[in-house]
Chains A and B, each alone.
Chain A
């Protein structure tokens, strides 16, 4: 190890893809994957996953519950390219084909602690009414060849999308050695605690 201290910091994320709200669709499953910059590498846990198929609850809130676990640890030398989780939700259409119902992405939160995020889900739209009808009829809707495009900012200026649902995620975030490297990710008045990532509760 270099004399100056650590050169790498760790980010541990666990949590779940909790539930979704899609007023018009039912029987959905979701896939998640992580997108991160060149300075990042996953060291433990799963980078991708596919959930079960879930149906809407019968009560008024019509929730689609997955309760699907997420657990991954990254190491990095640079916060640029902070990991994002990309979600793709799929479901059957009228003819029984599997079509995409939404894509969404959000950055993993960077302050340690518990975070809840509700992200909007959108699908690309067909360019013309004829293509819309053909894709509905054939069961081949417009979709991204690589869902990781959703996590990037470039190239999105020519896409037209329709947002049609939300997914709620819960994250627990723990970081190691970010403060030793000089990074501060939470405001100074809460920095009096020696280690917010300690498993035992902190005094006071």
Chain B
């Protein structure tokens, strides 16, 4: 079986209008992939930047997969939330990106989006907070029911992901 190590960090986020941000992340893989070690999902700390406008999380990711096939390559899905001084959390954006497929270290910039509601909901969000959220988290990384959504852009999440592959050349895989 071939093995893949995903070792890196969710560095932080830029471009969001709110400043105290945290990120819930997870990795979704196909049926041929098995997680041997590591934690598949998590939540970062809440950061309020003092210098500049990038919220820094430096959240480590260390995953070890064994795989029998190339289908279902791992995808990282992210939900960025903001927390205000009262401790209430509000959705700032959803995003996903595929884990890179060539070995080495990669800098990724994952764009995010958030669902827009009706004009009433948008007005309420501006004054009171809240706003629509997805019922099923898998819409973030699958294209299946996306046509129903009307969304607006959020900021960008920056990741530095390194990939270590093992025995891929034994199976003739070029990457």
List residues of chain A with CB under 8 Å of any chain B CB: 23-24, 37, 78-82, 84, 104-107, 109-111, 119-120, 122, 125, 150-154, 156-157, 159-166, 181-188
Other-chain residue from A23, A152, A153, A188 in contact with B175 (beta carbon distance below 8 A): A188
| Chain B nearest CB, measured from A118 CB (Å) | 10
B96 an interface residue at 8 Å Cβ cutoff? no
A131, B49: Cα distance in complex, Å: 20
Binary CB contact string for chain B from 150 to 175 against chain A (1 if under 8 A, 0 otherwise): 00000000000010111111100011
Complex Cα distance A78/B56, Å? Answer: 29
Specify which of B36, B104, B174 is in contact with A186 (CB 8 Å cutoff).
Answer: B104
Residues of B within 8 A of A151 (CB): 60
Residues of B within 8 A of A122 (CB): 45, 47, 56, 58
B22 to chain A, nearest CB (A): 7
Q: Which of B57-89 contact A (CB under 8 A)?
A: 58-62, 64, 83
CB-CB < 8 A to A84: which residues of B?
60
Given contact pairs A109-B162, A188-B175, A80 touches B62 in the complex (Cβ within 8 A): yes
| Nearest neighbor of B7 in chain A, beta-carbon distance | A82
Q: Give the interface SS of chain B, mostly helix, strand, loop or mixed.
A: strand
Q: B103 to A153, Cβ gap below 8 A? A: no
Interface size class of B (residues with CB under 8 A): 35 or more
With A154-B39, A185-B103: A162-B50 Cβ-Cβ less than 8 Å: yes
Expressed in whole angstroms, the Cα–Cα distance for A165 and B51 within the complex equals 7
Q: Please report the C-alpha to C-alpha distance between residue A79 and residue B8 in the assembled complex, in whole angstroms.
A: 12
> Does A184 contact B103, Cβ atoms closer than 8 Å?
yes
A163-B49, A163-B55, A182-B167 known; A187+B103 contact, CB < 8 A: yes
Indicate with 1 or 0, residue by residue over B83-121, a CB within 8 angstroms of chain A CB atoms.
100000000000000000011110000000000000000
Min Cβ gap B54→A in Å is 8
Q: Quick one: which of A78, A109, A125, A183 contacts B48, CB cutoff 8 A?
A: A125
- Complex: A156 Cα to B42 Cα, angstroms: 9
Complex partner residue of B51 from A110, A153, A164, CB under 8 angstroms: A164
